[in-house]
Amino acid sequence: MVLLAGCSGTDVLNTVNGAAGYRAESDVRYGEHSRQQLDIYRPKQNDNACLIVFVYGGSWDSGTKEQYGFVGAALARKGYTVAVPDYQLYPEVTYPVFVEDVAHALASKPLSELRQKRRLIMMGHSAGAMIAGLISYDPKYLKAVGLSSDIIDAYVSLAGPHDYFLPTQKQRWTDIFGDDESKQVDALTVNHVRPENPPTLILHGVDDETVTPKSAISLEQKLQSASVPVTRKTYEGVTHVKLLAAMGRPLGFLAPTLNDVDEFLRKTCGNQ
């Protein structure tokens, strides 16, 4: 379990999962800021015509794309092309700048070229799941960069804080999201559910003490009410960190995260 602790843990996972062998392009710029860069992972064969944009978590104030190479490699082994963007962080920026960064990444030349021949999947873990969810559900972010929300074919949430999450509960979150109630409500994914939302997969650990599983249930219920295709799976004995770590070798025994993501996307991506 030492593999789950800190940057050294992700370094080990990246090595074991051969991240460097799947990382086709590093530090691809999508903007002028030093954090507006992304890494691209490509399958060695059997490209299934899907591009996954994976947004990592870190409470909106930490994280680097290099730490999540094991996710890119795991998905590339399944035949997906994967982009992992960095984005600006608190305290340099506050909400919604980090969401806007990911929208800019999607509109950038590198990802525009990849999207031309591939279906687009938004996927994120924790804070990154909220960012990816807002991009998927709230059309204003893509509209602001000249894109239509219908470019997103599916959305995958791993332990996302979609509801039962009020920034006012913690001073740090208030600092990030502001003290204006309308802005806080705007940050919650559940408040942007509409019939046009893409098919959604929600994965969550029952033992997640960082983001309550009630958040997953709330999002599922809202999507069902709007007649949006949704699948929710919760895993007994799985925590916030284990849910994502399970995607990498040799930790697949922790949860079937990778297989469930792959199974959900097979129809969309044509890799049946």
Spatial strand order in the sheet of 50-55: 23-29, 37-41, 81-85, 50-55, 119-125, 152-158, 200-205, 230-235
Q: What is the pLDDT of residue 91?
A: 96
Q: CB 220: neighbour CB atoms within 10 A?
A: 20
In the chain the domains, ranked by start, together with CATH numbers, are: 2-269 (3.40.50.1820)
CB of 80 closer than 8 Å to CB of 195: no
- Rounded CA gap, 93 and 75, in Å? 30
CB of 237 closer than 8 Å to CB of 207: yes
- Rounded CA gap, 236 and 254, in Å? 10
Q: What is the pLDDT of residue 1?
A: 38
- Rounded CA gap, 76 and 144, in Å? 30
Q: Which of 138, 262, 135, 256 is nearest to 204 (CA)?
A: 256
Q: CB 8: neighbour CB atoms within 10 A?
A: 10
Alpha helices, DSSP H only, in 17-96? 19-22, 69-77
Q: CB 55: neighbour CB atoms within 10 A?
A: 30
CB of 31 closer than 8 Å to CB of 104: yes
Compute CA distances 201 → 11, 20, 116, 227, 233, whole Å. Answer: 28, 28, 24, 14, 8
> Tens of pLDDT along the chain (272 residues)?
333 445 567 889 999 999 999 999 999 999 999 999 999 999 988 777 899 999 999 999 999 999 999 999 999 999 999 999 999 999 999 999 999 999 999 999 999 999 988 999 999 999 999 999 999 999 999 999 999 999 999 999 999 999 865 544 667 788 899 888 888 889 999 999 999 999 999 999 999 999 999 999 999 999 999 999 999 999 999 999 999 999 999 999 999 999 999 999 998 887 54
- Rounded CA gap, 270 and 167, in Å? 39
Q: What is the pLDDT of residue 2?
A: 36
- The 3 state secondary structure assigned to 231-250 is EEEEECCCCHHHHHHCCCCC
